[in-house]
């Protein structure tokens, strides 16, 4: 069983000074932060990270948005982390997200939805490796 997932506090989260609130929300849900950094994705970075969405109508704007400012990727650990984190953040469209999910509480809209969470264990492993070499993932 994989107990890790990749989260990203997206540019709108940092821009609106919600970083502390988002981290607090995540910790209060019982996730342990095993790695974290701040970086500004280039368009090429975003293109690689979101390669699965290439060709979709929202793809070009997604790349613009994700490279528009800094973001905070993190590795989170909890039992059944991928599913648990998706549940904690809510659906892609914040208006449809369940009550008290991170997106429902704080996201602006379908694109600027404040946070990313891996959607499968396989993708979690790939996405963690995209941002973090093994030595940057803490053992504690
Ligand atoms: N997105 C968008 N419009 C859409 C669908 C997605 O702008 O109609 C953006 C949004 O930021 C979303 C990201 O593209 O989080 C990736 O889409 P995905 O379907 O993977 O949603 P997620 O897994 O993030 O809920
Ligand atoms: Mg996704």
What's the domain count of the chain?
Answer: 1
Domain that holds residue 9: 3-136
Distance 119 CA to ligand 2 centre (A): 6
Ligand nearest to the CA of 53: 1
Q: Atom 1 (ligand 1): residue with closest C-alpha?
A: 111
CB under 8 A, 24+ apart: contacts of 43-50: 43/67, 48/130, 49/127, 49/130
Q: Are 94 and 103 in contact (CB under 8 A)?
A: yes
CA of 110 to the centre of ligand 1 (A): 7
Residue-wise pLDDT for 54-79, tens only, equals 999 999 999 999 999 999 999 999 99
Whether residue 7 is predicted with pLDDT greater than 70 in this model: the reply is: yes
| Catalytic residue chosen out of the listed positions 4, 103, 104, 116 | 116
pLDDT at 48: 98
Q: What percent of the chain has pLDDT over 70?
A: 99
pLDDT in tens, 41-52: 999 999 999 999
pLDDT digit string (tens) for 79-121?
999 999 999 999 999 999 999 999 999 999 999 999 999 999 9
Question: How would residue 124 be classed by pLDDT, with cut points 50, 70 and 90?
Answer: very high
CATH number of the CATH domain containing 94: 3.30.70.141
75: tokens are 């590795």
Query: Is residue 116 flagged as an active site residue?
Result: yes
Mean pLDDT of all residues in 8-36? 98
User: Which residues, at least 6 apart from 13, have a Cβ–Cβ distance to it below 8 Å?
Assistant: 19, 22, 71, 72, 106, 114, 115
pLDDT of residue 73: 99
pLDDT > 70? residue 1: no
Question: Which residue has the CA at smallest separation from atom 9 of ligand 1?
Answer: 111
């Amino acid at each position: 069983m994989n107990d890790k997932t990749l989260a990203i506090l997206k540019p709108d989260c940092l821009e609106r000074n919600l970083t502390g609130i988002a981290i607090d929300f995540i910790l209060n849900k019982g996730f342990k932060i095993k790695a974290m950094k701040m970086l500004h994705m280039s368009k090429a970075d975003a293109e690689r990270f979101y390669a699965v969405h290439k060709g979709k109508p929202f793809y070009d704007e997604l790349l613009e948005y994700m490279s528009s400012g800094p973001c905070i990727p993190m590795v989170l650990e909890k039992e059944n982390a991928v599913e648990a984190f998706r549940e904690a953040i809510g659906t892609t469209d914040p208006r449809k997200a369940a009550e008290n999910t991170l997106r429902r509480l704080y996201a602006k809209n379908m694109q600027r939805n404040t946070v990313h969470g891996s959607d499968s264990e396989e993708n979690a492993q790939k996405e963690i490796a995209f941002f973090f070499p093994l030595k940057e993932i803490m053992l504690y």
